[in-house]
Structure 1
Amino acid sequence: MSSAGDAGRVAVETYQIGTNRPPLVVTDLPEPEEVFKVPRIGPKEAITKVIGPSLIALGLSIGSGEWLLGPLGVAQYGFIGLGWVILLSAILQTFYNVEITRYIMATGEVPVLGWARVPLGLFLWMPLGLLMVYFANIWGGWAAGAGEGLYVLLTGNLVDEPGERTAARWLAVGLMVLVLVITLFGQKIARTLELVNWVIVGFILVTLLLVDLFIVPASKWWEGLRGFLTPALPPSGVDATLLGGLAGYTALASGLNWYNMNYYRDHGYGMGARVGFIAGLVGGRQEEVMPSGVTFPDTPENARRWKRWFRLLLLDQWVVFFGGAILGMYLTTILVSHLASLPGEEPPTRATMPTYAADVLSRHYSSGLYAWALLVGFFILFSTQLGVFESLVRNVVDALHGTSPGFRRLIAGDPRRFYYPFMALLVVVISFLIFQALPTGLILISANMSNLGVLVFPFLLMYLNSKLPGPARMRWWSYVVLILNTIFFGFFFLNFLWQRITGTALVSF
């Protein structure tokens, strides 16, 4: 529809989606070359300019699930059954990510603002979404795990005494402060995170591959591959909490993946290029971030551009995110499974998992591999810390900035005036929480709470994506995939919840 202003003002075409939010301004989709400032998008430009948001998600993905929960489960129960859960989880989450980003590319709005458009959303779905994200991620298990790994790397002492655990936790606090420092720099905070993750994820995957090639026997490679590709029920006796955590954190955060997709807006995908981004404090100039999104008219030219953007999204998600998540889980699980099979070695436990690989490598191979495993473990968990911590801050900033005129006046239109003080406050809150439990136990709680999100957000996404302009509107297969996400991850959450309440899993294997 169109709305006209006062006399002498140009009429502005708008498009309404849902309720409780202003209508979207209608303008043409930009060409990818316009956004990324290149004459054409070829393989080089795709790697250096287009790929990016999925790297932040991948840095988060190759973290708690891949370094802690996946190897812990496989070392205790084997590949058959668990490998199939891992593969299905990664496939379903990648489809889910594509549907989340469909909305961002078509409107320039991040998901937390999209939830406000669903009926009752401003007062129910948006605050409920933030509550779920915080309840799942504020416990700081990733930070505590990174702190323990760094402590062992620096001192050579295992974290098995109260004083050592306290020192490791303080290192974790310092690492959260480091995240704040990293976000200070760059034209876009999102771009800074992408570049950091290029380095971290590249180091993790390349060195993991090399070490596995040298020490993991061919039989273990085949055992792992067969486990991933063999349809099977989870193994007998598997713990429901571990199983739910493995499903939830295999790729990203199952039902709560939406909280880490905001970077597609800041990177400039689709209509995100028309909305603005959060700039770094040093090296960035904060331009206006529109509180409400924009969309495009249903014309042949915009339909053509949409197809181009969607192909770029599929490249970013299926090649980088899905490929990297599966490779990361595969390389870590075959490594730890091999180490657990060595003479005299016991399978890892929740308490020993953060430094298990390093300990066994030092006993059977070399001190160099001991240091490497600690360094990789640290980078894996730190990249998770980087993505989780920044996203906790970003989603609150985006929600307040997009829905509250009073908040926008308070910060004088510059989100950074709230972003950095709020991040500092979260350092204090999470610092307290990480002193309360073991890292793996905290991460298992977070992963299972992530599964809770599939009982809500896929349905909200169906509502929003069914109302997009014609070329962007979801098709029948998108409904099927979102319902499968709800069934798959919802089962693991209900099984976990029933066990926590009754002491016995709803379904035992």
Structure 2
Amino acid sequence: MSASGDGGAVGQAVQLGTSRPPLPLVDLPEPEEVFKVPRIGVKEAITVVIGPSLIALGLSIGSGEWLLGPLAVAQYGFVGIGWVILLSALLQTFYNVEITRYIMATGEVPVLGWARVPPGWWLWVPLALLMVYFANIWGGWAAGAGEGLYVLLTGSLVDQPSERTTARWLAVLLMVIVFLLVLFGRKIARTLELVNWVVVGFVLITLLIVNLLVVPFSTWGTALIGLLTPALPPSGVDATLLGGLAGYTALASGLNWYNMNYYRDHGYGMGSRVGFIAALVGGKQEEVLASGVTFPDTPENERRWKRWFRLLLLDQWVVFFGGALIGMYLTTLLVYHLANLPGIEKPTRASMPTFAADVLGREYGTLLYYWALIVGFFILFSTQLGVFESLVRNMSDGLYGLSPAFRRAIAGDPRRFYYPFMIVLLIVISFLIFQALPTELILISANMANLGALVFPFLLMYLNRRLPRPARLRWWSYLLLVGNTIFFGFFFVNFLWTQLTGGPLVKF
């Protein structure tokens, strides 16, 4: 794996895995070279380095934080539920770092990395896409955003079939808005980052303010202790709800990889050598390599790798993990307080999307009613934005990387497939969201995300142990990846058993 060279190609390549081209050896760039700044300080870290984690965080502070976490805590309390939340967030962040380790070291997105694992692309790429689509295509994220917008516009809860139909059409309109958003900018990924800066910032800041105004400080302590106290889940907890909470606390448990492609497009590590998908308006599509590149094992590249890895840890542990945990803490804290007010009924799966707004309006006035509707809409819309675009992106990246005939058909411009396919997917999801309640759809998606934890951590071990020496995973990474499989895999098996038999395999 070692080779010499101070910059540019060194005329050598290394084969990683099977059924994909060898990876040419090219030196890692300096972060300043990629981000076009003289040095990386605090300001530069905020303005140009941080980004991909915000897209994941915008998706994270959605189905889990606004719906499943508060629903579970309102019904069962913090003790036991809080420990599931904390373990899930910790394990998923470790998993994200390992996924991005591969992207930074090769410039390849995960769906193409899986193709390198024996027996090859013909098994792992279709299976990976099938699992991601099966988990997300039902559109619970879209239906929830549509209901939030309906209540915001009309002031009426979605109780009647006619109201639900109107809310679903609003969900379709919001998917059209996502399509329009990704038309503009230099990079599609950068457009998504900027949108999520606004959404996530607004949500977290205003959530903090409202909690300070209405929640007693004693409840803050109860919530924090519940979050940090090791405990089994509460007696009688709904196995499907618990599995959904575990799967969607931070992102999508075993399927987190489908939302990590943005590290390539942002330019992290070798991603800057591979290319990105440009927006149609305002972007210029440069060449996107069909296969990745990696770096020779030299002292200079080892030094650069350590710098890149520190930036990754900042993006994941400070922004993603910190934001996801704060978001879950603040939303569950608020809903727990509201659900325990005198005369207030506990939220249900059907009422959860607008529960906070309804109770705040009755107990604290119209201003907080509309605030909750706006926050709920923003949260669910950011989830819709992240899921919808990632579904399109992974299909586009997979076909582009694997098929020379596909690349010839689109003349090497991934946008020629990306945008038409987004329209097709919009039509399919528009049909599916009319079939069930949004919280029911999200529970299915979240539990299917746990299935990925039985597969992809092992594929990641295979890939990451074959990276250049400075980038290889350490012994403790194996333990944490196995921990992901055990933790999230348990919840999937419990969910599957419940669906097949009508009762959970393990009762608490």
Q: Which residue in 1 is equivalent to 2:171? A: 172
1:24-45 Cα shifts (integer Å, max 9, x gaps): 0111000000000000000000
Once residues 11 and 346 of structure 1 are traced to their aligned partners in structure 2, the CA distance between those partners, rounded to angstroms, is 67
Q: Does 1:202 align with 2:175?
A: no
Once residues 120 and 226 of structure 2 are traced to their aligned partners in structure 1, the CA distance between those partners, rounded to angstroms, is 42
The letter for the 1-side match of 2:480 is V
1:79-228 matches, cutoff 5 A = 79-228=78-227
Change beyond 3 A, Cα 1:300–1:120: same
- What's the secondary structure of 1:295's corresponding residue? coil
Once residues 436 and 287 of structure 1 are traced to their aligned partners in structure 2, the CA distance between those partners, rounded to angstroms, is 41
Once residues 249 and 351 of structure 1 are traced to their aligned partners in structure 2, the CA distance between those partners, rounded to angstroms, is 18
1:237-289 Cα shifts (integer Å, max 9, x gaps): 00000000000000000000000000000000000000000000000000000
Q: Which residue in 1 is equivalent to 2:494? A: 495
1:321-470 matches, cutoff 5 A = 321-470=320-469
Once residues 110 and 192 of structure 2 are traced to their aligned partners in structure 1, the CA distance between those partners, rounded to angstroms, is 20
Once residues 2 and 425 of structure 1 are traced to their aligned partners in structure 2, the CA distance between those partners, rounded to angstroms, is 46
Once residues 422 and 431 of structure 2 are traced to their aligned partners in structure 1, the CA distance between those partners, rounded to angstroms, is 15
The letter for the 1-side match of 2:210 is V
Question: Is the 2:28–2:301 contact (alpha carbons within 8 Å) kept by the matching residues of 1?
Answer: yes
Once residues 231 and 273 of structure 1 are traced to their aligned partners in structure 2, the CA distance between those partners, rounded to angstroms, is 42
Once residues 345 and 333 of structure 2 are traced to their aligned partners in structure 1, the CA distance between those partners, rounded to angstroms, is 16
Question: Is the 2:2–2:297 contact (alpha carbons within 8 Å) kept by the matching residues of 1?
Answer: no
The letter for the 1-side match of 2:157 is L
| TM-fit CA distance, 1:11 | 7.8
| TM-fit CA distance, 1:12 | 2.5
Once residues 77 and 26 of structure 1 are traced to their aligned partners in structure 2, the CA distance between those partners, rounded to angstroms, is 54
Q: Does 1:317 align with 2:316?
A: yes
1:219-238 matches, cutoff 5 A = 219-238=218-237
- What's the secondary structure of 1:12's corresponding residue? strand
- What's the secondary structure of 1:294's corresponding residue? coil
1:427-450 Cα shifts (integer Å, max 9, x gaps): 100000000000000000000000
TM-score by length of 2: 0.98
Once residues 377 and 282 of structure 1 are traced to their aligned partners in structure 2, the CA distance between those partners, rounded to angstroms, is 30
The letter for the 1-side match of 2:115 is A
| TM-fit CA distance, 1:129 | 0.4
- What's the secondary structure of 1:432's corresponding residue? helix
The letter for the 2-side match of 1:18 is G
TM-score by length of 1: 0.98
Once residues 155 and 205 of structure 1 are traced to their aligned partners in structure 2, the CA distance between those partners, rounded to angstroms, is 25
Once residues 76 and 442 of structure 1 are traced to their aligned partners in structure 2, the CA distance between those partners, rounded to angstroms, is 19
Question: Is the 1:358–1:371 contact (alpha carbons within 8 Å) kept by the matching residues of 2?
Answer: yes
Once residues 11 and 155 of structure 1 are traced to their aligned partners in structure 2, the CA distance between those partners, rounded to angstroms, is 63
Q: Does 1:287 align with 2:293?
A: no
The letter for the 2-side match of 1:280 is A
The letter for the 1-side match of 2:288 is V
Once residues 467 and 245 of structure 1 are traced to their aligned partners in structure 2, the CA distance between those partners, rounded to angstroms, is 33
- What's the secondary structure of 2:121's corresponding residue? coil
- What's the secondary structure of 1:285's corresponding residue? coil
Once residues 141 and 376 of structure 2 are traced to their aligned partners in structure 1, the CA distance between those partners, rounded to angstroms, is 11
The letter for the 2-side match of 1:216 is V
Question: Is the 1:2–1:14 contact (alpha carbons within 8 Å) kept by the matching residues of 2?
Answer: no
Question: Is the 1:107–1:271 contact (alpha carbons within 8 Å) kept by the matching residues of 2?
Answer: yes
The letter for the 2-side match of 1:232 is A
Once residues 121 and 145 of structure 1 are traced to their aligned partners in structure 2, the CA distance between those partners, rounded to angstroms, is 38
Once residues 366 and 37 of structure 1 are traced to their aligned partners in structure 2, the CA distance between those partners, rounded to angstroms, is 49
Question: Is the 2:183–2:280 contact (alpha carbons within 8 Å) kept by the matching residues of 1?
Answer: yes
The letter for the 1-side match of 2:489 is G
- What's the secondary structure of 2:24's corresponding residue? strand
- What's the secondary structure of 1:26's corresponding residue? strand
Q: Which residue in 2 is equivalent to 1:249? A: 248
The letter for the 1-side match of 2:171 is A
| TM-fit CA distance, 1:62 | 0.2
The letter for the 2-side match of 1:160 is D
Once residues 234 and 81 of structure 2 are traced to their aligned partners in structure 1, the CA distance between those partners, rounded to angstroms, is 7
Question: Is the 1:2–1:12 contact (alpha carbons within 8 Å) kept by the matching residues of 2?
Answer: no
- What's the secondary structure of 2:13's corresponding residue? strand
Once residues 340 and 361 of structure 1 are traced to their aligned partners in structure 2, the CA distance between those partners, rounded to angstroms, is 10
Once residues 327 and 474 of structure 2 are traced to their aligned partners in structure 1, the CA distance between those partners, rounded to angstroms, is 31
- What's the secondary structure of 1:13's corresponding residue? strand
Q: Which residue in 2 is equivalent to 1:307? A: 306
- What's the secondary structure of 1:291's corresponding residue? coil
Question: Is the 2:277–2:414 contact (alpha carbons within 8 Å) kept by the matching residues of 1?
Answer: yes
| TM-fit CA distance, 1:53 | 0.1
Q: Which residue in 1 is equivalent to 2:18? A: 19
Q: Does 1:41 align with 2:46?
A: no
- What's the secondary structure of 1:196's corresponding residue? helix
- What's the secondary structure of 1:233's corresponding residue? coil
- What's the secondary structure of 1:152's corresponding residue? helix
Question: Is the 1:241–1:448 contact (alpha carbons within 8 Å) kept by the matching residues of 2?
Answer: yes
5+ long unaligned stretches in structure 1: 4-9
5+ long unaligned stretches in structure 2: 4-8
| TM-fit CA distance, 1:120 | 1.8
- What's the secondary structure of 2:122's corresponding residue? coil
Q: Which residue in 2 is equivalent to 1:6? A: none
| TM-fit CA distance, 1:121 | 2.8
Change beyond 3 A, Cα 1:282–1:440: same
Q: Which residue in 1 is equivalent to 2:506? A: 507
The letter for the 1-side match of 2:370 is A
Once residues 349 and 295 of structure 1 are traced to their aligned partners in structure 2, the CA distance between those partners, rounded to angstroms, is 50
Q: Which residue in 2 is equivalent to 1:52? A: 51
1:217-248 Cα shifts (integer Å, max 9, x gaps): 01110111000000000000000000000000
Q: Which residue in 2 is equivalent to 1:63? A: 62
**Aligned-residue CA RMSD in angstroms?**
1.1
How many residues get paired?
A: 503
The letter for the 1-side match of 2:481 is L
Once residues 437 and 32 of structure 1 are traced to their aligned partners in structure 2, the CA distance between those partners, rounded to angstroms, is 47
The letter for the 1-side match of 2:442 is I
Percent identity over the alignment is 80
Once residues 340 and 473 of structure 1 are traced to their aligned partners in structure 2, the CA distance between those partners, rounded to angstroms, is 47
Q: Which residue in 2 is equivalent to 1:7? A: none
Once residues 400 and 126 of structure 1 are traced to their aligned partners in structure 2, the CA distance between those partners, rounded to angstroms, is 10
The letter for the 2-side match of 1:235 is P
Q: Which residue in 1 is equivalent to 2:263? A: 264
The letter for the 2-side match of 1:260 is N
Once residues 152 and 342 of structure 2 are traced to their aligned partners in structure 1, the CA distance between those partners, rounded to angstroms, is 25
Question: Is the 1:256–1:453 contact (alpha carbons within 8 Å) kept by the matching residues of 2?
Answer: yes
Question: Is the 1:279–1:285 contact (alpha carbons within 8 Å) kept by the matching residues of 2?
Answer: yes
Once residues 177 and 478 of structure 1 are traced to their aligned partners in structure 2, the CA distance between those partners, rounded to angstroms, is 41
Once residues 237 and 11 of structure 1 are traced to their aligned partners in structure 2, the CA distance between those partners, rounded to angstroms, is 61
